[in-house]
Structure 1
């Protein structure tokens, strides 16, 4: 397609530019030391059951030594898989006609979504997103769907217990919207849902309160050094303390940083506002639902997921990551809402100049960050 055609179809140009921006974020990311992502690949269950060890334990089944480049290889693979899954989901939910491209730009091209996942390459956030997308793609007709959601949630908690607030609530919303609202609540699936919630909740409590390392930190670090392909990179083990840090210490550190972190709130509010065409579409979609009970459940679900993130903001200080993942959860819930019975809603207007301006701004913002904005 020539340049003139791109000018006539600005939303296609935005998609192409988003791809270029994501590549630029990747080139910058690989120049940074992967402190937290790398140590997670080293930690396994050698000293018994501990938190944040599932990924490292899985890698230990195939490799005795872990090279640093594996952070980028594994993270890049997860990113590509999540992107492929999302494209398949978007195609099935909305299609890829020209009139749906603005919606794709505001979701997939959002600095909250794949561009920020590229910046946080190697972190565990994207696994929650990918598993939630899988649950949006697979059939939801039987109790196997409820069981699959429970297993996915438990896997995420074993990867990192913060998923209990970050993606598990969204997975629960997907189950409610895709299974319970469609098939109704009866004794059998009510029992299955209760058992799933109880199992996930129990695992979280075990991981959170009984998953600390039992051996001295010096011994733990020595073991991790033995798993490194390049033992000279000892600086990458500087985050070993997180396996000894309790919930009270995490809350204390978060509130100690609260004054500086709150300075970023206006920036997050502005970034959210820049997605206003998307939020208006989402609100119209909810209003168009044919069942008043469905509308109430969706609003309650969005409120519950948002409450989980507010709790997380009070516990862990990676605010830029949390606000980005909150937005991703809203994007995924939007897809689930679209499957409910309702009137057809006009897509984000492609010809609207204001929408185009918002689209260009969202496209040009490379990412949100990890702890502070940008």
Structure 2
């Protein structure tokens, strides 16, 4: 980096963010990949099963699953997400100096790439990756709706909680990029409704009929047979999640609620640190030329947020949920940018002292976490 570049704090922040990400990765590879590894072992050997698609695909290529494969596959997904997000940002906003603060508040956010690095191997990033793909590809025909439906089906098969985590964002992207542009016709509306119905049926099947039909001990023995190192039985401690009904998940969440709610002020603070970005999003919505577009965008943002609120009441991985909610807001912002605006929206003021301080703070925050903050 040239001496002139170092005089621009936002370019320095990008360099510091890269260093932080490397640090998070070096820390991550020292931790046992309990949940991510077992997801690579579970497949459809005993019939239709929830959370089994990734393991089934891995099984097509190898009978024995090494632990390092968790980091190889997850690392490839992370790099693909980074590359596609850079391409998306370049196309939507460009990398002029005036848009560098916005890029730092997104790409450098502890909610986004840094937290995906910390949760390496978890399934969240696949929803983000496929959503970015939908923001990049043309949306000129009904094929776009069908592709979005296919992506959503894959996400539900990877993990059924995607029906609340990223499928609503996929739906918002389809509405904003396709239906707002092409318009609603009987054919494309019917296709969208059919896709929603199919997804609903698939979710119910995964949630209520995708449980393991054999005793847990036998299931654990099968998973052990797929391990490259069968002696690592400690990595099978989470096999119970394929037997846990929804009622038990809700009960566990509410039992942990008092202690987990202690993290809410921290989440609120982290969200507030992104205030310049939220103001920019608000101004983009206000600047929309079509009142009907504006109302539907506000409803869409509220709907996606409501889905995350439901997740907060069901599953206790709060740090992951709040992080992915923020990522969904980032992605929807890109979709909003494609809509006709009545007036231009001023970029985030990179020269503002308070904005620069907030940029430095989010740059130095390495991640949010999985359950509790940090």
Q: Is the TM value for this pair above 0.5?
A: yes
DSSP 3-state at the match of 2:94: coil
Q: Which position in structure 2 is the counterpart of 1:311? A: 310
1:362 aligns with 2:357: no
Q: Which position in structure 1 is the counterpart of 2:339? A: 340
Cα distance in 1, alignment partners of residues 6 and 77 from structure 2: 33
Q: Which position in structure 1 is the counterpart of 2:195? A: 196
DSSP 3-state at the match of 1:223: helix
> What's the offset of the Cα at 1:200?
0.8
Tell me which stretches of 4 or more aligned residues in structure 1 moved more than 6 Å.
Answer: none
> What's the offset of the Cα at 1:344?
1.5
Q: Which position in structure 1 is the counterpart of 2:175? A: 176
DSSP 3-state at the match of 2:76: helix
Q: Which position in structure 2 is the counterpart of 1:81? A: 80
> What's the offset of the Cα at 1:237?
0.2
Unaligned segments of structure 1, at least 5 residues: none
Cα distance in 2, alignment partners of residues 196 and 179 from structure 1: 15
1:275-296 deviations in whole A, cap 9, x for unaligned? 0000000000000000000100
Q: Following superposition of structure 1 onto structure 2, how do residues 73-112 of structure 1 map, counting pairs within 5 Å? A: 73-112=72-111
> What's the offset of the Cα at 1:6?
3.5
Q: Which position in structure 1 is the counterpart of 2:148? A: 149
Q: Following superposition of structure 1 onto structure 2, how do residues 291-306 of structure 1 map, counting pairs within 5 Å? A: 291-306=290-305
Cα distance in 2, alignment partners of residues 370 and 77 from structure 1: 20
DSSP 3-state at the match of 1:264: helix
* TM-score, L = length of structure 1: 0.99
DSSP 3-state at the match of 2:44: coil
Cα distance in 2, alignment partners of residues 7 and 155 from structure 1: 43
Note the aligned Cα RMSD (angstroms): 0.6
> What's the offset of the Cα at 1:7?
3.8
Q: How many residues align?
A: 373
DSSP 3-state at the match of 1:32: coil
1:186-245 deviations in whole A, cap 9, x for unaligned? 111111111111111111011111000001111100000000000111000000000000
Q: Following superposition of structure 1 onto structure 2, how do residues 20-39 of structure 1 map, counting pairs within 5 Å? A: 20-39=19-38
Cα distance in 2, alignment partners of residues 194 and 45 from structure 1: 29
DSSP 3-state at the match of 1:182: helix
DSSP 3-state at the match of 1:263: helix
